[in-house]
Structure 1
Amino acid sequence: MRSPRLLSLRLRLLLLTAALLLAGLSLVSVVATDQLRRYQLDRLDTQLRSFTTLLAQAPAIGLDDPMGTASLAVTDPALGLIGTPYLAYLDAAGAVVRGVHSSRLAEAALPAGSALRGVPTSGTAVDLDAADGSSRWRAVAGPTAGRDGTVVAAAPLAEIDATAARLRATTMISGAALLVLLTAAGWYALGRGLRPLRRIEHTAAAIASGDLSRRVPVVAAPGTEIGHLATSLNVMLGQLERAFAERAASEARMRTFVSDVSHELRTPLFVIKGSAQLNRMGALAERADVDEAMHRIDREATRLTALTEDLLLLAQLDDASEGHLDRTPMDLRTLATDAGHDLRALDPSRAVGLTGPGGDGPPGPAPVHADEARLRQIVANLVGNAAAHTPPGTPVRIGVGTAEGRAVLEVADEGPGMTAEHAGRVFDRFYRTDRSRSRSGGANAGLGLAIARSLARAHDGDVELETALGEGACFRLTLPLPDRS
């Protein structure tokens, strides 16, 4: 026999329904047969009691007048008509004085005299066995009037048993036919009802084969169980598709990151290794050549150190940015003023202006609760970016104050600006708008703006960019104002 787990849901539901239906039909058959039998027995008992009472009031009919042939000719059909084919009179000792029965019954098929003596005279009906055991009888007894004795009226139970048997057979046959019809109808109905689940199964199989864009079709009303299931599955599939897409994008970014890191590390390492090999081979005969090689090694080692520190900082910010901040109250105006001095020192020919946010009015207060050293690192990256990517002498404006409920510090230049494509990727790690730019110095590794944004977000702020080709660029640092409660 197949295990229930190997059966389909459709077949299991059908078997369960058929079993419940069979149990219900069986129960109905038993109850109906029992109720019919009780009804017939009650009716027979009433007839027997009535007839016994009548005969007990007129005992002379049975005792004083012997029944001849003419009398039997009248009595015999009368017994069949009243449904009491056996009458017996018992004396005080319990012996059968006279018995009258239908001519259709043999003497051996009647109840024995010993059985008749056991019938209570209170009118309670009892079941008796025939003398030959071939049938069962129902008997009622009552005392006779005017003399000591008992009259017993009895009727066979064969007709009642036959009626109950016919009803039982009828209910079994009709129940079996009904069970077959309802099972066939149930098989068809379950097939239609489970069709949406099969469509969901096919969709799941397609998704399992790699088609994450598939969705469960709308196979039922949203308020139904299958409708809820389809909706939940579609939400889950959308989340899975996004998760896989993000995973693929993350893996692509990781591959790009590893490639960029390898590329950034390879150049200084080759310079250091090449200079060291030249020295070991004795190719640097002059003191000036040795000094130049040591200078190159020191420069590249400094670049490696700066790159390594930047990568370590980014890793720390990705892991737990808040834990690396030492927050204190401060004002962004201090950083803005120092940034202006740094720009003038880098390029005295630049015109550096200090204004409010957006260039409106004088600089305003911008209190924050932040790590000053990290904010200086952000501003240094923004200032260095403006100095590196604009021609010498290009004017730069530094705005500071509050706007829209946040502290703002912005560095805006009038340089060449960027296209939308470059602006969308300028905060990516190792991204450069000009790949041909010299890589001397750690600031050109393409990590400065990525570090600036990561540090800003660690402070619950952000670094934003507004730019257009030929219209300059404005990098804006925004931070939350301190809680005054």
Structure 2
Amino acid sequence: MQQRMPRRRGRPRSPWTLQRRLVLTVVGLLALVSMTIGVVSVVILRASLLDRLDVQLASAADRSGAALGGVGDNDGDRPGDLPGSPYFGTPTADSILSGPAQPPGLLALVYDGSTITTGYTDDRSGAIEALTAQQVQLLADHVNQSAPVTVNLGGELGDYRVQAETSRSGTLYLVGLPLTGVAATAAQLAVIIGLVSLAGLVVVAVIAAWVVRLALRPLQRMTATATRVAQLPLDRGEVSLSDRVPAGDTDPRTEVGRVGAALNRMLDHVDRALEARQASERKVRQFVADASHELRTPLASIRGYSELTRRSGQQLPPDAMHALGRIESESVRMTGLVEDLLLLARLDEGRELDMQPVDLTRLLVDAVSDAHAAGRDYVWNLDLPEEPVEAIGDEARLRQVVANLLANARVHTAAGTTVLVALAEHDERAVITVTDGGPGIPEELTATLFERFARGDSSRFRAANAAGAPSTGSTGLGLAIVAAVVAAHHGEVTVDSRPGHTTFRVSLPLA
């Protein structure tokens, strides 16, 4: 059983631009009109030349009849009737071809009732040449037609315009003139029209391309405006949407102008919507910053009084001691949450970081040591290059980035998981990777992983708890802080996750 091979699909054709379509349309219409005019001109010229040739053929037929003994109703002797005339006697084709004032290339056939004689005059030499039997047969088929007809004799003779007549003496004869001149003139006219049309098409194509390009400049300016707007990060931060279509391209009396005016109105609506969004975000950030700042003092008081009470030495009931411990631990967690919110608010405001050369090698060694102390049930591996790697950044914030990534690996994976921290240089950038062998991150959570208060409880966290990991609460701000700090350092953070392998990759500019 033969298996059919799948068909190879060709490359999709690239769409034609509006400029190309307009130019090709103009050139195509002009080519069609030129071809129509050329065909009509050649047909009319050929018909006119054919009519003129028919007139010449009629004159040649009259002279041929006179040479054979006369035609018509006029009385009197004809040159062929007079004794001593070179044409006196039996009529033949030579009598016609040798007659006076006969045009060059004349063809003749004479039938006297028993014998057929034929011949034609050679245009170049003037000699009388004989016809072939096949050519004679073709002419004999038209000997009874008195109206001019076209006969193709083939060979060197080609097409002839022939006409049959009967002389006064009752002799049938047929004369013909070549259509070579008519065909040559018509072909010459067709060539001239074709060359002139081709030159005209080239000139029109150049002019049309220039005119269309000039006419499409407003659309190009609109495209440039839309492209600049599309490159703006409209989904976040404060955006100044000042680009507009020039006023000269918004004339409502033209189609292009109406498009430009509509685009400007749309940009105005988008600008107002962005301003409203930015104002709302500023209010939210200001509220978070103010609330975080105000909460630091009461949280510190709660933590201090609970710790002071616990260490006062007074005998308290066990349930009271447990409650004080919970108050103290929750105040510590709330303090961390407030500090994280305050840090994000400051990063949102664009506060300058303390940018200095940072030894990432030493920073990772310290971070992995701290992670090992916090999670002794995990296997911590470190892969560093032979030479130290330095980046430009705020050391305290970069330490927080690495610490958050290591804490994320520890919290959301089971005890005994191997975590690999690596450092490398690639394309003039320092690349930090944190790889763990945990259960992975579901694909639907990857898009929102670095957003604030995003949690992976539905995947990694539950899997870790099922394996016996401590149920440490997560604020959902750790990775958001990582993304914000890395972005403030003009870097990039990405994640690649599948079951059994999750890698966070941080790219920072080298010093």
Max radius of gyration: which structure? 1
TM-score when scaled to structure 1? 0.48
**Could you tell me the TM-score, scaled by structure 2's length?**
0.46
- Greater share of residues in helix: 1
